[in-house]
Amino acid sequence: MNFERPTLRDVMEAKKRIAPYVWRTPLHHYLGLDNELDAEVWVKHENHQRLGAFKVRGGVNLLSQLTDDEKARGVITASSGNHGQSVAFSAGVFGVKCIVCVPEGANPGKVESMKNLGAQVIHHGPNFDAAREYAEMLSKEEGYRFIHAVNDARLIAGVGTYTLEIMEDLPDVDYIIVPLGGGSGACGATIVANSINPDVKVIAVQGEKAQAGYQSWKQRKIVEMPMESKAEGLATATGYALTQEILWDLLDDFVLVSEEEMDRAVVMHLEKTHNLTEHAGAASLAGALKIKDRLKGKKVVIVMSGGNLSLDHLKAALATSE
């Protein structure tokens, strides 16, 4: 793990490093969301990214910098879905053996994608953190290079590139609202925004039923909390040292949303933007709706972090709107 805090220079170098393998995603303005929030609302479409989520940016940046010895040993990681796809894809690009440990109830579509990308997938434990502990144990026993899903500066620098794109495309943005699970995306956003224009406010959003990140940020210490959210991209049971230290310094605010509010945001995105987003990706819109009075008249970017929604979760979300 690399606990060194990344800088804007690291993000800019990551942008060049990952350019051959990832896509620059669109930033679109939606009048329908303007009307809902009484603001000028833009969506950063990381759901249009390769593999349908922002995580691939970090995976490519990290694996491209492994030593020959680390590549020869192979890599192992744990994931609730999108990070695992990122590492599996990146391992394929650089010719590295890859093992991903996932929770027993992991999104089947994401698991299938990891396997299709060439990874060996091991189901273990009821949640992400149980799978992570198992992956760390296997790393020590078998000699694989363990890749932490959060505590690595190269992951943060890689995913920070989407905020660099936001600042290039909409330099006068007022607010950037980012879903938060482990915190790599939110950290990338705070590092880039604060370095380029400290007036830009970055707000993180997490689920009420998986609020370890929020409580760690609020209490200024690493906190463990129950994890019961269906939004697997937000579903971590603990805060993480590297990301929390960055967020303590740089994050402007943090909002919690309910499962029902994320359901409504999934459906609203279908109606207003014609995009399918997973619940984690919809959390930013749910958070924006919760603080809409603060956003009135502002230029707001909400990050749609991923679009890998399971069919069961889509059906459940649609049922809430009937």
Pick the closest to residue 83 from 251, 305, 312, 248 (CA basis): 305
Whole-number pLDDT of residue 29: 98
Q: What is the pLDDT of residue 291?
A: 98
Element spanning 147, H or E: strand 145-147
For 127, phi and psi rounded to 5 degrees?
-150, 180
Q: How far is CA 249 from CA 5, 184, 191, 193, 196, in A?
A: 12, 14, 10, 13, 16
- Predicted confidence at residue 107, as pLDDT, reads 85
3-state DSSP assignment of residue 92: helix
Q: Does domain 8-53+154-320 have CATH number 3.40.50.1100?
A: yes
pLDDT of residue 233: 77
Residue 110: per-residue pLDDT: 87
pLDDT, residue 109, reads: 86
CATH topology of domain 56-151: Rossmann fold (3.40.50)
CA distance 34 to 39: 5
**Spatial distance between the Cα atoms of 88 and 94, rounded to a whole number of angstroms:** 10
**Per-domain residue ranges of the chain:** 8-53+154-320, 56-151
- 3 state DSSP class of 161: helix
Cβ-based neighbours of 35, under 8 Å, separated by 6 or more: none
Its pTM surpasses 0.85: yes
Predicted local distance difference test score (pLDDT) of residue 309:
86
pLDDT along the chain (322 residues), means of 10: 85 98 97 98 96 95 96 94 92 97 89 95 90 95 95 96 98 98 96 98 96 97 90 83 97 97 96 96 98 98 93 89 70
Estimate to the nearest angstrom the gap between the alpha carbon of 144 and the chain centroid. Answer: 24
